[in-house]
Amino acid sequence: MITLSPLYLVVGVFLAYCAFRSLREVDVARLRRLRNGLFWALMSVVFLIGDRIPAAVIGGFVIVLSILAALHGAQPGTANSRRENQNTQPDDARRQLFLPALLIPILTLLGVLFLKPLRIMDKPLFFDANSASLLCLGLACAISLIVGLRVTRQRLPVALHEGGRLLAVMGWAATLPLLLATLGGVFATAGAGSAVAELLRTLLPLHHRAVAVAAYGLGMALFTMIMGNAFAAFPVLTAGIGVPILINMHHADPAPLGALGMLSGYCGTLLTPMAANFNLVPAALLELRDPHAVIRAQVWTALPLLLCNLLLMNFLLFR
């Protein structure tokens, strides 16, 4: 059976390489080198032996990582981009560079569809079916790496160097999706949905259907802007407003409620720097002078789309 352990091991080793690489940067001040190296070293430890470390210690690591980020450790955009020879390849060769990137989603989808149900000697191929998507993503990335090396005719050390450089360009923002996804689970376990519902019942007349719809849709967008992840906001708002108010009280159809609720959350994703992998990382990779340029460009898509979602909720949720 295939487990997540090899995937965590590979990520941990790569982060350890990034820590070592940060400590050896000659064009960076010594204190910053130490901060960057410690940041990626702690991340490496979490992936390598996190299952053997007490949860309280991991929580302490997260606090230290936050302090290091606040002190400009793993600062986004600190690595120099390699621009040489980027236009020396012929057009056909440059077009082939899209192949490894396209293979990742395609192979992940095929793996989930065809490998997840497989059983060998009456045992499932994947040890944990809930982690099958992540395992398929890891396998797809490994295959795409091999294809990328063949297409570019480079060796593995070059891939490690460029991967480390890109991670340095992204900086601490690369870790934000992982932490925000965990935050959603913490909020759900702490009963944040019930607390939100009780607060909104006190402040708003949720017995009016239009008010309840607006509270749910706008709440999804707002919580996503705060938490940086619509998947983290969804259980909080759905448990607090979606199920008890819209479904149980106003008899909303659950299917379009969930779909439009998530889409409302995605509108919040377009508007927040907390969604760093969507909004801050592209600005860093493209070396834009304004780190919020991506958000500014998305405002005029997000706001009209959120308004359309609210209107669709009023027309599609109720029979």
Which three-class secondary structure string do you get for 22-89? HHCCCCCCHHHHHHHHHHHHHHHHHHHHHHHCCHHHHHHHHHHHHHHHHCCCCCCCCCCCCCCCCCCC
Contact 266, 294 (CB under 8 A): no
Backbone angles phi, psi at 274, to 5 degrees: -65, -30
pLDDT at 214 over 90: yes
- Read off the pLDDT of each residue in 235-248 and give the average, rounded to a whole number: 87
CB burial string 231-256: b at 16+ within 10 A, e below: ebbbbbbbbbbbbbbbbeebebeeee
Digit-coded pLDDT (tens) for 36-94: 889 999 999 999 998 888 888 988 988 888 888 887 766 665 445 454 444 455 556 56
Mean pLDDT check: name the lowest of 84-93, 192-201, 266-275. 84-93
How confident is the model at residue 172, as a pLDDT?
Answer: 79
How confident is the model at residue 16, as a pLDDT?
Answer: 93
Tokens 């980027």 appear where? 86
- Read off the pLDDT of each residue in 11-24 and give the average, rounded to a whole number: 89
Digit-coded pLDDT (tens) for 117-166: 777 766 766 656 667 788 888 889 999 999 988 888 888 888 888 888 88
CA nearest neighbour of 123 among 40, 3, 236, 299: 3
Q: Label residue 284 by pLDDT band (50, 70, 90).
A: confident
Mean pLDDT check: name the lowest of 22-26, 144-148, 241-245. 22-26
Q: Which region, left, alpha or beta, applies to residue 77 given φ > 0 means left and ψ of -120 to 50 means alpha?
A: left
Give me 40's structure tokens.
């990626």
Amino acid identity, residue 271? Answer: L
Average pLDDT for the chain: 83
Rounded Cα distance between 6 and 107, Å, is: 18
The pTM for the full model equals 0.72
- Looking at per-residue pLDDT, the higher value among 27 and 298 belongs to 298
